[in-house]
Amino acid sequence: MNIRAQIATVFHLDKCIGCHTCSIACKNLWTDRKGAEYMWWNNVETKPGTGYPTRWEDQEQYRGGWERVGSQLRLKMGGRGGTLGKIFHNPSLPTMDDYYEPFTFKYDDLTNAPAGDDQPTARPVSMVSGKPMKIEAGPNWDDDLSGSTVYAANDPGVVQLSEEEQQQLFAIEKMVFFHLPRICNHCLNAGCVAACPSGAIYKRGEDGIVLVDQDKCRGWRMCVSGCPYKKTYYGWSTGKSEKCILCYPRQEAGEAPACFHSCVGRIRYLGVLLYDADRIEATAMQEDGELAAAQREMILDPFDPQVQREAARCGIAEEVLAAAQASPVYKFVKQWGIALPLHPEFRTLPMLFYVPPLLPVLSVESQGTQKLADDFFTTLERARLPIRYLAGLFAGGNEEEVKAVYRRLIAVRIQRRQQGVGDQSEAEAARAREIAGLSAEQVEAIYRMTALTSIKERIVIPPMLRDRAVEAGTDPEAYRQEMGFGRRQAPKRRW
Ligand code: SF4
Ligand code: SF4
Protein backbone atom coordinates (compact mmCIF):
# COMPACT_ATOMS: atom_id res chain seq x y z
CA MET A 1 0.00 0.00 0.00
CA ASN A 2 1.08 3.55 -0.75
CA ILE A 3 -1.03 5.51 1.69
CA ARG A 4 -1.55 9.21 1.13
CA ALA A 5 -3.72 11.81 2.84
CA GLN A 6 -6.07 14.14 0.99
CA ILE A 7 -8.16 17.07 2.13
CA ALA A 8 -11.61 16.18 0.81
CA THR A 9 -15.01 17.81 1.01
CA VAL A 10 -18.74 17.06 1.06
CA PHE A 11 -21.60 19.36 0.00
CA HIS A 12 -25.03 18.35 1.31
CA LEU A 13 -27.35 19.49 -1.49
CA ASP A 14 -30.61 19.25 0.43
CA LYS A 15 -29.29 22.06 2.64
CA CYS A 16 -28.17 24.48 -0.09
CA ILE A 17 -30.52 27.47 -0.39
CA GLY A 18 -28.79 28.98 -3.41
CA CYS A 19 -27.90 32.23 -1.65
CA HIS A 20 -24.47 32.57 -3.36
CA THR A 21 -22.85 33.80 -0.14
CA CYS A 22 -20.07 31.27 -0.79
CA SER A 23 -19.44 32.69 -4.27
CA ILE A 24 -19.25 36.25 -2.95
CA ALA A 25 -16.97 35.28 -0.04
CA CYS A 26 -14.57 33.70 -2.55
CA LYS A 27 -14.88 36.58 -5.02
CA ASN A 28 -14.08 39.18 -2.40
CA LEU A 29 -11.06 37.26 -1.20
CA TRP A 30 -9.44 35.96 -4.37
CA THR A 31 -10.86 37.19 -7.69
CA ASP A 32 -11.93 40.77 -7.08
CA ARG A 33 -9.30 42.19 -9.41
CA LYS A 34 -8.39 43.01 -12.99
CA GLY A 35 -8.32 40.02 -15.32
CA ALA A 36 -10.40 37.88 -12.94
CA GLU A 37 -13.75 39.62 -13.37
CA TYR A 38 -15.42 36.64 -15.04
CA MET A 39 -13.90 34.04 -12.69
CA TRP A 40 -15.97 32.30 -10.05
CA TRP A 41 -13.69 29.78 -8.34
CA ASN A 42 -16.82 28.96 -6.35
CA ASN A 43 -20.04 29.17 -8.33
CA VAL A 44 -23.55 27.95 -7.60
CA GLU A 45 -25.66 26.77 -10.51
CA THR A 46 -29.26 25.77 -10.77
CA LYS A 47 -29.97 22.21 -11.86
CA PRO A 48 -31.39 21.23 -14.23
CA GLY A 49 -29.61 23.98 -16.14
CA THR A 50 -26.72 24.61 -18.48
CA GLY A 51 -24.31 25.89 -15.81
CA TYR A 52 -21.15 27.97 -15.98
CA PRO A 53 -19.49 27.95 -18.45
CA THR A 54 -22.55 26.97 -20.38
CA ARG A 55 -22.94 23.20 -20.96
CA TRP A 56 -19.61 22.52 -19.21
CA GLU A 57 -20.64 18.90 -18.74
CA ASP A 58 -20.64 18.26 -22.49
CA GLN A 59 -17.21 16.75 -23.12
CA GLU A 60 -17.96 16.21 -26.79
CA GLN A 61 -17.77 20.00 -26.96
CA TYR A 62 -15.04 20.77 -24.40
CA ARG A 63 -13.00 17.53 -24.50
CA GLY A 64 -12.03 17.63 -20.81
CA GLY A 65 -11.10 14.74 -18.50
CA TRP A 66 -9.91 11.24 -19.39
CA GLU A 67 -11.10 8.44 -21.63
CA ARG A 68 -10.21 4.77 -21.86
CA VAL A 69 -8.42 3.77 -25.02
CA GLY A 70 -7.94 0.00 -24.94
CA SER A 71 -6.16 -0.70 -21.67
CA GLN A 72 -4.90 2.87 -21.37
CA LEU A 73 -6.20 6.04 -19.82
CA ARG A 74 -5.72 9.11 -22.03
CA LEU A 75 -6.69 12.74 -21.84
CA LYS A 76 -9.77 13.30 -23.94
CA MET A 77 -8.28 16.51 -25.36
CA GLY A 78 -5.92 14.39 -27.42
CA GLY A 79 -2.32 13.25 -27.62
CA ARG A 80 0.76 15.38 -28.01
CA GLY A 81 0.63 15.69 -31.79
CA GLY A 82 -3.03 16.59 -31.82
CA THR A 83 -2.74 19.30 -29.20
CA LEU A 84 0.49 20.92 -30.39
CA GLY A 85 -1.47 22.39 -33.26
CA LYS A 86 -3.99 23.79 -30.78
CA ILE A 87 -1.55 25.97 -28.90
CA PHE A 88 -2.49 29.08 -30.86
CA HIS A 89 -6.07 28.09 -31.59
CA ASN A 90 -7.83 25.60 -29.35
CA PRO A 91 -11.46 25.12 -30.49
CA SER A 92 -12.29 23.19 -27.30
CA LEU A 93 -11.68 26.17 -25.01
CA PRO A 94 -14.73 27.95 -23.61
CA THR A 95 -15.12 31.44 -25.06
CA MET A 96 -16.09 34.59 -23.20
CA ASP A 97 -19.66 34.01 -24.40
CA ASP A 98 -19.64 30.54 -22.82
CA TYR A 99 -18.71 32.09 -19.46
CA TYR A 100 -20.42 35.51 -19.84
CA GLU A 101 -19.19 39.02 -20.45
CA PRO A 102 -18.57 40.47 -16.98
CA PHE A 103 -20.48 43.65 -16.25
CA THR A 104 -21.02 46.31 -13.64
CA PHE A 105 -23.46 49.22 -13.43
CA LYS A 106 -22.95 52.97 -13.64
CA TYR A 107 -23.90 53.41 -10.02
CA ASP A 108 -22.65 56.98 -10.11
CA ASP A 109 -25.48 57.90 -12.48
CA LEU A 110 -27.90 56.60 -9.87
CA THR A 111 -26.50 58.02 -6.66
CA ASN A 112 -25.39 61.40 -8.01
CA ALA A 113 -28.35 62.09 -10.32
CA PRO A 114 -29.70 65.64 -9.94
CA ALA A 115 -33.19 66.05 -8.49
CA GLY A 116 -35.82 65.65 -11.19
CA ASP A 117 -39.14 64.11 -12.15
CA ASP A 118 -37.69 61.06 -13.86
CA GLN A 119 -36.34 57.93 -12.19
CA PRO A 120 -32.53 57.75 -12.56
CA THR A 121 -31.11 54.43 -13.72
CA ALA A 122 -27.72 52.74 -13.57
CA ARG A 123 -26.96 51.33 -17.02
CA PRO A 124 -24.91 48.17 -17.31
CA VAL A 125 -21.39 48.54 -18.67
CA SER A 126 -18.96 45.86 -19.80
CA MET A 127 -16.02 45.24 -17.44
CA VAL A 128 -13.98 44.28 -20.50
CA SER A 129 -14.59 47.21 -22.85
CA GLY A 130 -16.07 49.73 -20.39
CA LYS A 131 -18.87 50.37 -22.91
CA PRO A 132 -22.63 50.12 -22.29
CA MET A 133 -23.86 46.60 -22.96
CA LYS A 134 -26.96 44.45 -22.99
CA ILE A 135 -26.69 41.73 -20.33
CA GLU A 136 -27.45 38.35 -21.90
CA ALA A 137 -25.74 35.89 -19.57
CA GLY A 138 -24.33 35.56 -16.05
CA PRO A 139 -22.67 33.00 -13.79
CA ASN A 140 -26.06 31.57 -12.77
CA TRP A 141 -28.26 32.82 -15.57
CA ASP A 142 -30.53 29.76 -15.21
CA ASP A 143 -31.28 30.82 -11.64
CA ASP A 144 -34.24 29.14 -9.98
CA LEU A 145 -37.07 28.75 -12.45
CA SER A 146 -36.32 31.65 -14.75
CA GLY A 147 -35.97 30.41 -18.26
CA SER A 148 -36.28 26.71 -17.40
CA THR A 149 -37.70 25.74 -20.72
CA VAL A 150 -34.75 27.38 -22.47
CA TYR A 151 -31.90 26.57 -20.09
CA ALA A 152 -32.93 23.46 -18.17
CA ALA A 153 -34.08 21.81 -21.38
CA ASN A 154 -30.54 22.20 -22.73
CA ASP A 155 -28.89 20.64 -19.68
CA PRO A 156 -26.74 17.81 -21.12
CA GLY A 157 -28.22 15.47 -18.50
CA VAL A 158 -31.78 16.39 -19.41
CA VAL A 159 -31.18 15.95 -23.11
CA GLN A 160 -30.49 12.26 -22.42
CA LEU A 161 -33.85 11.73 -20.70
CA SER A 162 -36.83 10.30 -22.55
CA GLU A 163 -39.46 12.65 -23.97
CA GLU A 164 -41.87 11.50 -21.25
CA GLU A 165 -39.35 12.17 -18.45
CA GLN A 166 -38.64 15.62 -19.85
CA GLN A 167 -42.36 16.41 -20.03
CA GLN A 168 -42.71 15.31 -16.42
CA LEU A 169 -39.77 17.52 -15.40
CA PHE A 170 -41.16 20.66 -16.99
CA ALA A 171 -44.88 20.18 -16.31
CA ILE A 172 -46.42 23.33 -14.86
CA GLU A 173 -46.68 23.10 -11.05
CA LYS A 174 -44.31 20.15 -11.04
CA MET A 175 -41.18 22.04 -12.04
CA VAL A 176 -38.31 21.18 -9.81
CA PHE A 177 -34.79 22.44 -9.32
CA PHE A 178 -31.92 22.32 -6.86
CA HIS A 179 -28.69 24.21 -6.41
CA LEU A 180 -25.30 22.78 -7.23
CA PRO A 181 -22.38 24.69 -5.69
CA ARG A 182 -19.09 23.89 -7.44
CA ILE A 183 -15.43 24.45 -6.62
CA CYS A 184 -12.29 22.69 -7.86
CA ASN A 185 -12.51 19.04 -6.82
CA HIS A 186 -8.77 18.76 -6.04
CA CYS A 187 -8.88 15.48 -7.94
CA LEU A 188 -6.60 12.49 -7.37
CA ASN A 189 -6.16 11.96 -11.11
CA ALA A 190 -6.34 15.62 -12.07
CA GLY A 191 -6.79 16.32 -15.79
CA CYS A 192 -5.41 19.85 -15.35
CA VAL A 193 -2.13 18.57 -13.88
CA ALA A 194 -1.59 16.03 -16.63
CA ALA A 195 -2.49 18.50 -19.40
CA CYS A 196 -0.07 21.27 -18.42
CA PRO A 197 2.90 21.34 -20.87
CA SER A 198 4.93 23.49 -18.46
CA GLY A 199 4.51 21.27 -15.39
CA ALA A 200 3.18 24.34 -13.60
CA ILE A 201 0.20 22.65 -11.92
CA TYR A 202 0.96 20.33 -9.06
CA LYS A 203 -0.78 18.48 -6.28
CA ARG A 204 0.85 19.61 -3.11
CA GLY A 205 2.40 16.90 -1.02
CA GLU A 206 0.99 17.40 2.42
CA ASP A 207 -2.73 17.56 1.65
CA GLY A 208 -3.34 17.01 -2.07
CA ILE A 209 -4.52 20.58 -2.79
CA VAL A 210 -4.01 21.32 -6.51
CA LEU A 211 -2.17 24.59 -7.19
CA VAL A 212 -0.77 26.53 -10.18
CA ASP A 213 2.82 27.72 -9.82
CA GLN A 214 2.46 31.24 -11.19
CA ASP A 215 6.19 31.49 -12.01
CA LYS A 216 6.07 28.34 -14.14
CA CYS A 217 2.75 28.96 -15.89
CA ARG A 218 3.15 30.03 -19.51
CA GLY A 219 -0.54 30.63 -20.14
CA TRP A 220 -1.03 27.78 -22.64
CA ARG A 221 -4.49 27.19 -21.12
CA MET A 222 -4.24 23.43 -21.62
CA CYS A 223 -5.36 23.07 -17.98
CA VAL A 224 -8.60 24.87 -18.88
CA SER A 225 -9.16 22.27 -21.59
CA GLY A 226 -7.97 19.32 -19.51
CA CYS A 227 -10.28 20.04 -16.56
CA PRO A 228 -13.72 18.56 -17.32
CA TYR A 229 -15.28 20.71 -14.57
CA LYS A 230 -13.85 23.92 -16.09
CA LYS A 231 -12.39 24.94 -12.77
CA THR A 232 -9.15 26.48 -13.99
CA TYR A 233 -9.39 29.94 -15.49
CA TYR A 234 -7.18 32.11 -17.64
CA GLY A 235 -6.34 35.52 -16.14
CA TRP A 236 -6.21 37.87 -19.10
CA SER A 237 -4.32 40.52 -17.13
CA THR A 238 -1.49 38.32 -15.83
CA GLY A 239 -1.45 35.88 -18.76
CA LYS A 240 -1.47 32.99 -16.25
CA SER A 241 -3.98 30.32 -15.30
CA GLU A 242 -5.42 30.26 -11.83
CA LYS A 243 -7.90 28.27 -9.79
CA CYS A 244 -9.42 27.53 -6.40
CA ILE A 245 -6.66 27.02 -3.84
CA LEU A 246 -9.04 25.65 -1.18
CA CYS A 247 -7.96 28.70 0.85
CA TYR A 248 -4.76 26.93 1.86
CA PRO A 249 -3.40 30.02 3.64
CA ARG A 250 -6.52 30.03 5.80
CA GLN A 251 -6.26 26.29 6.43
CA GLU A 252 -2.62 26.65 7.45
CA ALA A 253 -3.83 29.07 10.10
CA GLY A 254 -6.49 26.56 11.20
CA GLU A 255 -9.35 28.47 9.54
CA ALA A 256 -11.99 26.97 7.24
CA PRO A 257 -11.92 28.03 3.58
CA ALA A 258 -13.91 31.24 3.11
CA CYS A 259 -16.78 29.57 1.21
CA PHE A 260 -17.07 26.92 3.93
CA HIS A 261 -16.90 29.43 6.74
CA SER A 262 -19.54 31.71 5.23
CA CYS A 263 -21.96 29.01 4.02
CA VAL A 264 -25.39 30.02 5.24
CA GLY A 265 -26.93 26.56 4.83
CA ARG A 266 -23.97 24.87 6.59
CA ILE A 267 -23.93 22.40 3.76
CA ARG A 268 -20.11 22.13 3.58
CA TYR A 269 -17.93 19.58 5.34
CA LEU A 270 -14.16 19.23 5.15
CA GLY A 271 -11.80 16.54 6.42
CA VAL A 272 -8.93 14.20 5.62
CA LEU A 273 -9.28 10.94 3.70
CA LEU A 274 -6.58 8.28 3.56
CA TYR A 275 -6.31 6.41 0.27
CA ASP A 276 -4.10 3.93 -1.49
CA ALA A 277 -2.29 5.85 -4.25
CA ASP A 278 -1.27 2.55 -5.92
CA ARG A 279 -4.93 2.07 -6.87
CA ILE A 280 -5.47 5.37 -8.69
CA GLU A 281 -5.05 4.10 -12.23
CA ALA A 282 -6.96 0.84 -11.70
CA THR A 283 -9.80 2.79 -10.10
CA ALA A 284 -9.97 5.35 -12.91
CA MET A 285 -10.12 2.49 -15.46
CA GLN A 286 -13.40 1.05 -14.11
CA GLU A 287 -16.64 1.03 -16.08
CA ASP A 288 -18.64 4.28 -15.81
CA GLY A 289 -21.26 2.79 -13.52
CA GLU A 290 -18.64 1.22 -11.24
CA LEU A 291 -16.56 4.36 -10.70
CA ALA A 292 -18.42 5.79 -7.69
CA ALA A 293 -18.11 2.46 -5.83
CA ALA A 294 -14.48 2.01 -6.90
CA GLN A 295 -13.62 5.48 -5.66
CA ARG A 296 -15.28 4.72 -2.32
CA GLU A 297 -13.38 1.43 -2.22
CA MET A 298 -9.94 3.07 -2.50
CA ILE A 299 -10.61 5.18 0.62
CA LEU A 300 -9.02 3.44 3.60
CA ASP A 301 -10.35 2.87 7.11
CA PRO A 302 -8.28 4.99 9.54
CA PHE A 303 -9.47 2.79 12.43
CA ASP A 304 -8.02 -0.39 10.86
CA PRO A 305 -4.76 -1.33 12.68
CA GLN A 306 -3.16 -2.55 9.43
CA VAL A 307 -3.98 0.75 7.70
CA GLN A 308 -2.56 2.60 10.70
CA ARG A 309 0.72 0.64 10.50
CA GLU A 310 1.01 1.21 6.76
CA ALA A 311 0.14 4.90 7.15
CA ALA A 312 2.93 5.31 9.69
CA ARG A 313 5.32 3.54 7.30
CA CYS A 314 4.27 5.95 4.51
CA GLY A 315 5.02 8.97 6.69
CA ILE A 316 1.47 9.91 7.72
CA ALA A 317 1.80 11.63 11.10
CA GLU A 318 -0.28 10.48 14.08
CA GLU A 319 -1.98 13.88 14.18
CA VAL A 320 -3.12 13.49 10.55
CA LEU A 321 -4.36 9.97 11.31
CA ALA A 322 -6.36 11.37 14.23
CA ALA A 323 -7.82 14.02 11.89
CA ALA A 324 -8.74 11.26 9.41
CA GLN A 325 -10.58 9.42 12.20
CA ALA A 326 -12.56 12.56 13.03
CA SER A 327 -13.18 13.42 9.37
CA PRO A 328 -16.86 14.10 8.57
CA VAL A 329 -16.04 13.36 4.93
CA TYR A 330 -14.99 9.81 5.85
CA LYS A 331 -18.32 9.36 7.61
CA PHE A 332 -20.43 10.70 4.74
CA VAL A 333 -18.58 8.92 1.95
CA LYS A 334 -17.41 5.65 3.45
CA GLN A 335 -19.18 4.86 6.71
CA TRP A 336 -22.67 6.00 5.75
CA GLY A 337 -22.30 5.85 1.96
CA ILE A 338 -24.51 8.87 1.32
CA ALA A 339 -22.13 11.17 -0.62
CA LEU A 340 -21.18 10.61 -4.27
CA PRO A 341 -18.65 12.23 -6.65
CA LEU A 342 -19.85 14.59 -9.39
CA HIS A 343 -19.52 13.02 -12.84
CA PRO A 344 -17.15 10.21 -11.85
CA GLU A 345 -17.14 9.17 -15.53
CA PHE A 346 -14.73 12.05 -16.22
CA ARG A 347 -12.22 9.79 -14.41
CA THR A 348 -10.33 12.50 -12.56
CA LEU A 349 -11.32 10.94 -9.20
CA PRO A 350 -12.78 14.14 -7.72
CA MET A 351 -12.38 14.65 -3.98
CA LEU A 352 -15.53 16.73 -3.57
CA PHE A 353 -18.57 14.54 -2.84
CA TYR A 354 -22.25 15.47 -2.86
CA VAL A 355 -25.20 14.23 -0.84
CA PRO A 356 -27.80 14.12 -3.65
CA PRO A 357 -30.93 16.21 -3.08
CA LEU A 358 -33.83 14.11 -1.82
CA LEU A 359 -36.33 16.96 -2.23
CA PRO A 360 -39.89 16.44 -0.96
CA VAL A 361 -40.43 13.08 -2.63
CA LEU A 362 -42.13 11.72 0.43
CA SER A 363 -45.33 13.67 0.38
CA VAL A 364 -48.59 13.02 -1.48
CA GLU A 365 -51.62 15.21 -1.69
CA SER A 366 -54.60 13.98 0.27
CA GLN A 367 -57.84 15.96 0.51
CA GLY A 368 -56.03 19.22 -0.16
CA THR A 369 -53.18 18.74 2.31
CA GLN A 370 -49.73 17.24 1.93
CA LYS A 371 -49.05 14.13 3.96
CA LEU A 372 -46.44 11.42 4.01
CA ALA A 373 -46.80 8.79 1.31
CA ASP A 374 -47.75 5.32 2.54
CA ASP A 375 -45.02 3.55 0.65
CA PHE A 376 -41.85 5.61 0.57
CA PHE A 377 -39.96 3.29 -1.66
CA THR A 378 -42.62 3.30 -4.34
CA THR A 379 -42.58 7.07 -4.05
CA LEU A 380 -38.86 6.95 -4.67
CA GLU A 381 -39.48 5.44 -8.09
CA ARG A 382 -41.68 8.43 -8.82
CA ALA A 383 -39.18 10.98 -7.48
CA ARG A 384 -39.73 14.53 -8.69
CA LEU A 385 -36.28 14.49 -10.22
CA PRO A 386 -35.89 11.34 -12.31
CA ILE A 387 -33.38 8.98 -10.66
CA ARG A 388 -31.83 8.60 -14.09
CA TYR A 389 -30.96 12.30 -14.16
CA LEU A 390 -29.30 12.13 -10.73
CA ALA A 391 -27.49 8.90 -11.64
CA GLY A 392 -26.07 10.73 -14.66
CA LEU A 393 -24.77 13.46 -12.37
CA PHE A 394 -23.41 11.47 -9.44
CA ALA A 395 -22.91 7.83 -10.39
CA GLY A 396 -21.85 7.43 -14.01
CA GLY A 397 -25.44 6.41 -14.84
CA ASN A 398 -25.69 3.75 -12.10
CA GLU A 399 -29.21 4.29 -10.72
CA GLU A 400 -28.73 1.74 -7.96
CA GLU A 401 -26.00 3.95 -6.38
CA VAL A 402 -28.43 6.87 -6.10
CA LYS A 403 -31.28 4.67 -4.88
CA ALA A 404 -29.04 3.26 -2.14
CA VAL A 405 -28.27 6.80 -0.96
CA TYR A 406 -31.95 7.75 -1.08
CA ARG A 407 -32.96 4.70 0.97
CA ARG A 408 -30.58 5.86 3.71
CA LEU A 409 -31.77 9.47 3.58
CA ILE A 410 -35.39 8.28 3.68
CA ALA A 411 -34.63 6.10 6.72
CA VAL A 412 -33.29 9.20 8.49
CA ARG A 413 -36.46 11.15 7.65
CA ILE A 414 -38.77 8.39 8.80
CA GLN A 415 -36.93 7.87 12.09
CA ARG A 416 -37.00 11.60 12.77
CA ARG A 417 -40.70 11.83 11.84
CA GLN A 418 -41.38 8.98 14.22
CA GLN A 419 -39.48 10.71 17.04
CA GLY A 420 -40.41 14.31 16.34
CA VAL A 421 -43.89 14.30 14.74
CA GLY A 422 -45.15 10.89 15.76
CA ASP A 423 -46.98 10.10 12.52
CA GLN A 424 -44.75 7.09 11.81
CA SER A 425 -44.61 3.95 13.91
CA GLU A 426 -41.45 2.42 15.33
CA ALA A 427 -42.13 -0.61 13.12
CA GLU A 428 -42.08 1.62 10.01
CA ALA A 429 -38.85 3.26 11.14
CA ALA A 430 -37.31 -0.18 11.76
CA ARG A 431 -38.41 -1.36 8.32
CA ALA A 432 -36.89 1.74 6.67
CA ARG A 433 -33.61 1.18 8.52
CA GLU A 434 -33.54 -2.46 7.49
CA ILE A 435 -34.07 -1.59 3.82
CA ALA A 436 -31.38 1.11 4.07
CA GLY A 437 -28.93 -1.17 5.90
CA LEU A 438 -28.45 1.30 8.77
CA SER A 439 -28.69 0.94 12.54
CA ALA A 440 -30.75 3.32 14.68
CA GLU A 441 -27.48 4.77 16.02
CA GLN A 442 -26.16 5.41 12.51
CA VAL A 443 -29.40 7.14 11.54
CA GLU A 444 -29.12 9.33 14.63
CA ALA A 445 -25.48 10.12 13.79
CA ILE A 446 -26.43 11.12 10.21
CA TYR A 447 -29.18 13.34 11.55
CA ARG A 448 -26.85 15.01 14.03
CA MET A 449 -24.11 15.58 11.45
CA THR A 450 -26.65 16.97 9.00
CA ALA A 451 -28.63 19.17 11.34
CA LEU A 452 -26.95 19.89 14.65
CA THR A 453 -23.18 20.02 14.25
CA SER A 454 -20.83 22.80 15.26
CA ILE A 455 -18.23 24.14 12.85
CA LYS A 456 -15.57 22.08 14.67
CA GLU A 457 -17.34 18.85 13.71
CA ARG A 458 -18.08 19.97 10.15
CA ILE A 459 -14.60 21.27 9.37
CA VAL A 460 -11.75 19.10 10.65
CA ILE A 461 -8.47 20.57 9.38
CA PRO A 462 -5.37 18.45 9.99
CA PRO A 463 -2.38 20.17 11.62
CA MET A 464 0.17 21.46 9.13
CA LEU A 465 3.25 19.91 10.82
CA ARG A 466 5.62 21.92 8.65
CA ASP A 467 8.58 20.73 10.72
CA ARG A 468 7.91 17.14 9.61
CA ALA A 469 6.46 17.63 6.14
CA VAL A 470 9.40 17.19 3.80
CA GLU A 471 7.42 17.91 0.64
CA ALA A 472 5.67 20.88 2.24
CA GLY A 473 8.97 22.64 2.83
CA THR A 474 10.41 21.84 -0.57
CA ASP A 475 10.29 23.79 -3.78
CA PRO A 476 7.37 22.27 -5.72
CA GLU A 477 9.61 22.37 -8.79
CA ALA A 478 11.68 19.60 -7.22
CA TYR A 479 8.52 17.47 -7.21
CA ARG A 480 7.12 18.49 -10.57
CA GLN A 481 7.24 14.95 -11.87
CA GLU A 482 5.03 13.76 -9.04
CA MET A 483 1.45 14.44 -8.16
CA GLY A 484 2.09 15.04 -4.49
CA PHE A 485 0.29 12.67 -2.22
CA GLY A 486 -1.49 11.19 -5.17
CA ARG A 487 1.45 9.90 -7.16
CA ARG A 488 4.98 8.77 -6.66
CA GLN A 489 5.42 8.16 -10.36
CA ALA A 490 5.29 10.78 -13.06
CA PRO A 491 1.78 11.40 -14.40
CA LYS A 492 1.32 10.63 -18.08
CA ARG A 493 1.89 14.04 -19.57
CA ARG A 494 1.35 14.62 -23.22
CA TRP A 495 4.76 16.25 -23.68
S1 SF4 B 1 -11.53 19.91 -10.75
FE2 SF4 B 1 -9.66 20.96 -10.05
S3 SF4 B 1 -8.10 19.32 -9.74
FE4 SF4 B 1 -9.82 18.43 -10.91
S5 SF4 B 1 -9.11 18.61 -13.03
FE6 SF4 B 1 -10.37 20.45 -12.58
S7 SF4 B 1 -8.96 22.05 -11.87
FE8 SF4 B 1 -7.86 20.08 -11.84
S1 SF4 C 1 -23.43 29.77 0.91
FE2 SF4 C 1 -23.99 27.61 1.26
S3 SF4 C 1 -26.23 27.63 1.17
FE4 SF4 C 1 -25.58 29.56 0.19
S5 SF4 C 1 -25.38 29.01 -2.01
FE6 SF4 C 1 -23.37 28.70 -1.09
S7 SF4 C 1 -23.33 26.48 -0.62
FE8 SF4 C 1 -25.51 27.07 -0.89
Contact 229 CB / ligand 1 (< 6 Å): yes
Length of the chain: 495
Percent of the chain surpassing pLDDT 70: 86
pLDDT digits (tens, 9 = 90+) for 1-43: 889 999 999 999 999 999 999 999 999 999 998 999 999 999 9
How far is ligand 2, taken at its centre, from the CA of residue 20, in Å?
Answer: 5
Please give the single-letter amino acid code of residue 300: L
- DSSP string computed for 155-199: -HHHHTS-HHHHHHHHSTTT---EEEEE-----TT-HHHHH-TT-
Nearest to 466 by CA among 279, 320, 306, 343: 320
Ligand nearest, relative to CA of residue 18? 2
Pocket test for ligand 2, best of 9, 10, 19 (most atoms within 8 A of CB): 19
State residue 63's pLDDT score.
94
Contact 263 CB / ligand 2 (< 6 Å): yes
Q: Ligand 2, closest atom to CA 44?
A: 5
State residue 458's pLDDT score.
97
**Residue 475: pLDDT above 90?**
no
How far is ligand 1, taken at its centre, from the CA of residue 181, in Å?
Answer: 15
- The stretch 445-469 carries a mean pLDDT of 87
Q: pTM score, two decimals? A: 0.91
pLDDT digits (tens, 9 = 90+) for 318-370: 999 999 999 999 999 999 999 999 999 999 999 999 999 987 655 555 555 44
Distance CA 207, CA 485 (A): 7
Closest protein CA for atom 4 of ligand 2: 19
- Which band of pLDDT confidence, cut at 50, 70 and 90, is reported for residue 479? low
Closest protein CA for atom 2 of ligand 1: 184
Instruction: State whether residue 370 is helix, strand or coil.
Output: strand
Contact 44 CB / ligand 2 (< 6 Å): yes
Ligand nearest, relative to CA of residue 183? 1
Query: Residue ranges of the alpha helices (H) in 354-425?
Result: 376-381, 387-394, 399-420
State residue 87's pLDDT score.
75
Pairing of strands 103-105, 268-276: unpaired
Distance CA 468, CA 450 (A): 35
**Residue 393: pLDDT above 90?**
yes
Q: Ligand 2, closest atom to CA 259?
A: 1
